[in-house]
Homo-oligomer: A and B are copies of this chain.
Amino acid sequence: MRYSYQREIILDIVRSTKTHPTAEWIHNKAQKKIKAISLGTVYRNLGLLENLGKIQTVKDNNVVRYDCNIEPHNHLKCKICDTLIDIPVANEAMKKNVKSKYNFDVDDINITFIGTCSKHN
């Protein structure tokens, strides 16, 4: 894969935050560095970086968010402030459980806990 300054900046931006930014947010930030960077370039490079295993994605409603945390992990989603909080994988043993109960080979577990985070109590 050929070097691209756009891709470098995009990766830097994703790595600069734990807020699980959207493509649009990343695009806005990137424009501070490269005024003419296009949204398509941001999307394409985010996809490439995901394929390279350098970033992860999280589905949040109907938006994709990007995450520099590449460890397997799950999320707490606060319905009040919309924050996504990373948590370690809840239980690897669940995979074995599902295999024995349903004869279903689990590759990936997608867990989101929806509720109210510690800021609001």
Contact = CB atoms under 8 A, between A and B. Distances in A.
A85 interface: yes
Interface string A20-43: 000000000000000000000000
Interface residues of A, number: 33
A18 B90 CA distance: 28
B106 A115 contact: yes
Interface of A: 59, 61-62, 76, 78-79, 85, 87, 90-91, 94-95, 97-98, 101-118, 121
Nearest to A63: B62
A117 B106 CA distance: 9
B114 A108 contact: yes
10 contacts: A62-B62, A76-B104, A85-B102, A85-B104, A90-B94, A91-B91, A94-B113, A106-B113, A106-B114, A110-B112
